[in-house]
């Protein structure tokens, strides 16, 4: 049986088509066997199907003789952290993050919270799950409730990123999107209050609800942002923060309700960590790069480009010993958070930055003017390869530099673009940036080439 839910570095698919409890069970046994695991961390998001899928994975691990360290409802980053904290042999979180309602999936890591891809075990898990030749259950497995211990340790680690004494009275709108973020955020907020942090939080869509009454939590989509914008303005807040379903991504809104594109957040966070650790390395993805590279150079750091995707960024973090890594899609990675991405660390660091340096809008405005960005624009040409070939033929002869780390990137001197074909759908993704110039003329020209 060919399993269609295995992707480049995780598992996801439509319920009842690509993924169900029986398949989840086989994946669980395959994971334990491929990892040679005896202890595995397991968490899940709030989706209606997640508890049953997590139950199937848990039973599979137990049947392989594993001790399952259960986190219950939790964020993916809590699984990442707990895998290292408990010195487990791997970790799994049942989540579909921001995918549609009829989807679910599994995010997995090896010992030490190291990423999984085809070369590091994912292909072995797939082969074992497809063969389904596991035999009878092994003795010695069991379930341990680790929810309280894991969250308490996680909160302490998150708080280690902020100087609480430096925080000023700020009003912050937080939109959990009815995903998994609410309870974890509350634990962090309670710890901050106990330590005298003068932050005021205005919660919205806070309670976990797998029916997602306000829509799938994905603030990257412009149509999902207005409620957060309205609340920021109504509260006169200093900042707004919104998360996706498993809260490994966080998105920022300034005090005027303006959405702050991820590439500018990467620059701000890079500057913070370079101030603490001069000369450190910063990892960034190849889609929009000039602002990050400029900030890192000015701060005396070293910018390192890595392929888009959490498995690639995490491995690059480890390979280069980087202190921080960021993607424009709002994934932020921290060496001192087991080299993994967190959606809770960034807003705390940002609260301290605003407390020290002033408003978020002011911090961003100069960078946005220096390096305007188009944001990611998606096209659906009838023939994606032919459309990309048209753009390449037009611009490559005049390009000052070409890079194919991830898709096609062409540097045209005072502007550049990255063009990538999706691995999963007939979509071409375009990102453009300039050195202070108007992007519209070139954007219109490329748009015509990518549109049928």
Give the C-alpha separation, 204 to 227, whole Å. 9
Give the model's pLDDT for residue 9. 86
Q: How many CA atoms lie within 13 A of 364 on its CB side?
A: 22
**pLDDT tens digit sequence for 259-292:** 999 999 999 999 999 999 999 999 999 999 999 9
Summarised one tens digit per residue, pLDDT across range 53-89 is 999 999 999 999 999 999 999 999 999 999 999 999 9
Q: What is the pLDDT of residue 129?
A: 98
Q: What is the model's pLDDT at position 309?
A: 87
Burial of residue 191 (number of CB atoms within 10 Å: 0-12, 13-18, 19+): middle
> What is the pLDDT at residue 269?
98
Query: How many other C-beta atoms can be found within 10 angstroms of the C-beta atom of residue 162?
Result: 20
Give the pair of three-digit tokens for residue 181: 């973020």
pLDDT beneath 50: ranges in the chain:
none
Please name every residue paired with 387 in a beta bridge, in sequence order, or none if there are none: none
Which of 97, 113, 316, 373 is flagged as catalytic? 97
Domains of the chain are 11-149 (3.40.120.10), 377-450 (3.30.310.50)
Residue-level pLDDT at 425: 72
pLDDT at 168: 98
3-state DSSP assignment of residue 148: helix
Say if residue 278 is exposed, middle or buried (CB neighbours under 10 Å; 0-12, 13-18, 19+): exposed
Overall residue count recorded for the chain in this entry: 452
97 annotated active-site = yes
The pLDDT value recorded for residue 137 is 97
Q: What is the DSSP letter of 66?
A: P
**In the Cβ-directed half-sphere of 334, how many Cα atoms lie within 13 Å?**
22
Question: Which candidate, 164, 159, 172, 230, places its Cα nearest to that of 360?
Answer: 172
Residue 175: its H or E element = strand 170-175
DSSP symbols for 249-312: BEEEE-TTS-EE-HHHHHHHHHHHHHHHSTT-EEEE-SSS-HHHHHHHHHTT-EEEE--SSHHH
Has this prediction a pTM greater than 0.85?
yes
Cα(87)–Cα(140) distance, integer angstroms: 18
């Amino acid at each position: 049986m060919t399993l269609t839910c295995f992707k480049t570095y995780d598992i996801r698919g439509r319920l009842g088509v690509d993924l169900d409890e029986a398949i989840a069970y086989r994946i669980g046994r395959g994971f334990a066997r491929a990892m040679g695991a005896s202890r595995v961390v397991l968490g899940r998001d709030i989706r209606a199907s997640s508890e049953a899928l997590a139950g199937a994975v848990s039973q599979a691990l137990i049947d392989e003789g594993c001790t399952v360290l259960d986190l219950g409802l939790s964020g993916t980053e809590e699984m990442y952290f707990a895998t290292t904290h408990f010195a487990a042999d791997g970790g799994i979180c049942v989540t579909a993050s921001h995918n549609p309602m009829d989807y679910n999936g599994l995010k997995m890591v090896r010992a030490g919270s190291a990423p999984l891809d085809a070369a590091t075990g994912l292909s072995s898990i797939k082969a074992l799950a497809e063969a389904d030749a596991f035999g009878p259950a092994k003795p010695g497995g069991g379930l341990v409730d680790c929810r309280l211990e894991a969250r308490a340790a996680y909160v302490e680690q998150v708080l280690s990123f902020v100087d609480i004494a430096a925080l000023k009275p700020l009003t912050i709108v937080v939109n959990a999107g009815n995903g998994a973020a609410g309870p974890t955020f509350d634990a962090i907020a309670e710890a901050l209050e106990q330590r005298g942090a003068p932050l005021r939080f205005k919660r919205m869509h806070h309670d976990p609800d797998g029916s997602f009454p306000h829509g799938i939590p994905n603030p990257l989509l412009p149509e999902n942002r207005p409620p957060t914008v309205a609340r920021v303005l109504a509260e006169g807040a200093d900042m707004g923060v919104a998360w996706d379903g498993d809260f490994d991504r966080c998105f920022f809104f300034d005090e005027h309700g303006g959405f702050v594109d991820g590439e500018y957040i990467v620059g701000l966070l890079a500057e913070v960590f370079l101030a603490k650790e001069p000369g450190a390395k910063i990892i960034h993805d190849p889609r929009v790069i000039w602002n990050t590279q400029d900030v890192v150079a000015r701060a005396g750091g070293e910018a390192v480009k890595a392929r888009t995707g959490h498995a690639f960024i995490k491995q690059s973090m480890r390979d280069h010993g980087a202190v921080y890594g960021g993607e424009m899609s709002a994934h932020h990675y921290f060496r001192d958070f087991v080299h993994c991405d967190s959606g809770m660390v960034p807003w705390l660091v940002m609260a301290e930055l605003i407390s020290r340096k002033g408003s978020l809008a002011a911090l961003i405005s100069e960078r946005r003017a220096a390096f305007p960005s188009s944001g990611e624009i998606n096209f659906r040409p009838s023939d994606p390869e032919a459309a990309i070939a048209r753009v390449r033929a037009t611009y490559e002869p005049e390009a000052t530099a070409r890079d194919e780390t991830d898709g096609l990137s062409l540097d045209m001197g005072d502007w550049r673009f990255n063009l990538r074909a999706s691995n999963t759908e007939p979509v071409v993704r375009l990102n453009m940036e300039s050195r202070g110039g108007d992007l519209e003329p070139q954007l219109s020209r490329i748009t015509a080439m990518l549109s049928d």
